[in-house]
Amino acid sequence: MSKKQSEKFDFDVLQKKEIERINALKDNPKYKKDKESLRIKQVLYDGYVGTKEEFENGSKIMIIAAEAHDLKYYDENSSNNDVYDGFYVKEVAYTGDPKYYPNGKRFMDHLLLIYKYIIAYDMAKNNTATKLDINFVLNDLSKNYNDLKEIAFINLKKIGGSGRLNYPETKAEDGVTFYQWVKYHRKDLINQINDINPKYIVLCSVPVQNAYNKQLSSEIEGQIDIFNSYHPSIWNKKTEDYIKNIKLQ
Tell me, what's the pLDDT at 33?
47
3-class secondary-structure state, position 148: helix
Global pTM value = 0.86
* Short-list 209, 212, 165, CA closest to 190: 212
Helices 104-125 and 88-95: angle between axes, nearest 10 degrees:
80
- Please tell me which of 29-38, 50-59, 95-104 the model is most confident about, judged by mean pLDDT: 50-59
Q: What is the mean pLDDT of residues 170-178?
A: 60
Evaluate if residue 4 carries a pLDDT over 80: no
Higher pLDDT, 129 or 191: 191
Ordered by where they begin, the domains of the chain are 11-248 (3.40.470)
Lateral strand order in the sheet of 47-48: 47-48, 152-160, 61-68, 200-204, 225-229, 247-248
pLDDT tens digits, 108-124: 989 999 998 998 888 88
**DSSP per residue, 11-48:** HHHHHHHHHHHHHHHTT-GGGGGGGGG---PPPPP-EE
Length of the chain: 249
Angle CA(82)–CA(57)–CA(130) in degrees, nearest 5? 130
pLDDT band at 171 (very low <50, low <70, confident <90, very high): low
